[in-house]
Amino acid sequence: MQLSARNQLKGVIKDITLGNIMAEIVVELPDGQVVVALITFTSSERLNLQIGDEVTAVFKSTEVMIGKDEQTG
């Protein structure tokens, strides 16, 4: 399935924390920056997510804000 989402960042799972309902998945990008995804525990189990998995962090462009340092303006 091809997705309309503009943001599809490839990386590797570095850490997983499981709660009752939620799971926190930490993905490291090739440049060393990190993306955190909060998904349901059920989804984490269904995808059988493991540390070291190559995954894609997917999010819509409507969800992204831009921050700019006042000095750089």
Minimal distance, residue 52 CB to its own copies, in Å: 10
The residue behind tokens 């490291």 is 28
Considering only residues 31 to 70 of the shown chain, the ones binding its own copies according to CB under 8 A are 31, 33, 35-40, 42-44, 46-49, 53-70
Residues 6+ apart with CB under 8 A from 35: 9, 11, 26, 27, 29, 57
Minimal distance, residue 28 CB to its own copies, in Å: 11
Residue 35 to residue 50: CA distance in whole angstroms: 16
Give whole-number Cα distances, 13 to 21, 25, 54, 64, in Å: 19, 7, 7, 21
Q: Does 14 bind its own copies (CB under 8 A)?
A: no
Minimal distance, residue 40 CB to its own copies, in Å: 6
* Positions in the binding site for its own copies (CB under 8 A): 1-10, 17, 19-25, 27, 29-31, 33, 35-40, 42-44, 46-49, 53-70, 72-73
